[in-house]
Structures are given as C-alpha cells and as structure tokens.
Amino acid sequence: MRKTIIASVLMALPVVSFAASEQFTIDPTHTYPHFKINHLGFSTLQGRFNRTSGKLTVDTAKKTGSVNIVIDATSVDTGFKKRDDHLRSPDFLNAAEFPEITYQSSKVKINADNSAIVNGTLTIMGTSKSVTLDVSKMHCGIHPMDPKKQKYVCGFDATAKIKRSDFGIKYGLPAIGDEMELSFEVEAVRN
C-alpha cells in the first residue's frame, strides 16, 4: 500500500510541475510589436511589425515566467511602401542581413494585480541591450470564442523605451528621433 502511494506521488510530480509552469505559443495574428518615433520634430510616426513568433511560459504559483519573442524585421509596416523599403535598408534595420529582432527575458516578476516587470535582452542588428518591459495587465483564461472551451490563452500589453542609437541605428540623427517607444500586444495559446 505504501509503495502504491509513493508510486502515485512520483507519477504525479511531472504533472504538478507542468501545471505550475505552463508553456504557450505566441499567436501571430494577435501579437504585434508597435513603435513610435519622432519625425523631424513635426509629428510622431507610428509603425508595426506584421510577423512575430515566439514562446511564453507562465508559472502562476511562483508569479514568474519567461518571454521569448522573434520579430521578422522585414515585416516592418508604416503604411507607405517606399518608407518601409527604406526602413528595411542598411540605413535602419538592415533586414536582409539581420532578418530577426529578438527579445529574450531573463527575469519575470508578476505582481499581485497581474501587472508585471520583464527584464530581458533585445537584439537588433546583432547588437544586444538590456530592455525592461512594463506589462500593464496580464490576463489568462479560456478563449470565449472557442466552441470546445479548451483553448487557454494568456495575453498582455507591454511597453518599453529604447534609444535606437544604442543598437547602431544612427541614420538621420538627431533630426529623426533617437528615443523610440515600443509597445507589444501579445496573445499566446497554451500548448
């Protein structure tokens, strides 16, 4: 009898562990990194990247997790093809040579009100810098449109500020702003 109990506990351990740290795959149709940048002092140009992939883990018990995002640099979109081509050129993102922008978290702290602070490394054009994402509110639950009520989704909005010159993007400085505001709308489906 005691052996059976021990065996049952041992068999349950991986399940408990899985439940504690759940893995998610980013939903590219609901995940878009946006950016804002000052345009010659006149206005604030906004754009986004149309293709993003990646993984999340969420450990609700320990109030932590991880974020791994890969952004397709060639998918930059400001609503004007000629400008987008320029943004893909070596003047800015050099997307042919560096097709991926990545963000890899190193520490995630989920607060009691479901806001979070994510410390991690942003890599653009081969240059990596520490960037902190400020997550306003994280929400996880069954997707209301799923007829089987099985699709479990986690989502959040995050913001960060970077200086493009830190990543070697110096074209047009100082006329075109150095500081960029990044915002991420992220949704991920549990594996």
Q: Smallest distance, Å, CB 125 to other proteins?
A: 7
Long-range contacts of 39-46 (CB under 8 A, 24+ apart): 39/176, 39/177, 40/175, 40/176, 41/175, 45/78, 46/78
The verdict on 136 binding other proteins (CB under 8 A) reads no
Backbone angles phi, psi at 94, to 5 degrees: 50, 55
Q: Please compute Rg for the chain using Cα positions.
A: 20
**Structure tokens of 21?**
């740290």
Cβ neighbours around 104 below 10 Å, total: 15
The verdict on 96 binding other proteins (CB under 8 A) reads yes
The verdict on 44 binding other proteins (CB under 8 A) reads no
Q: Smallest distance, Å, CB 130 to other proteins?
A: 17
The verdict on 90 binding other proteins (CB under 8 A) reads yes
One residue of 6, 174, 179, 191 binding other proteins per CB under 8 A: 174
Query: Which residue's CB is nearer to other proteins, number 28 or number 172?
Result: 172
* Residues at the interface with other proteins (CB under 8 A): 40, 80, 82-83, 85-86, 88-91, 94, 96-98, 125-127, 168, 170-174, 176
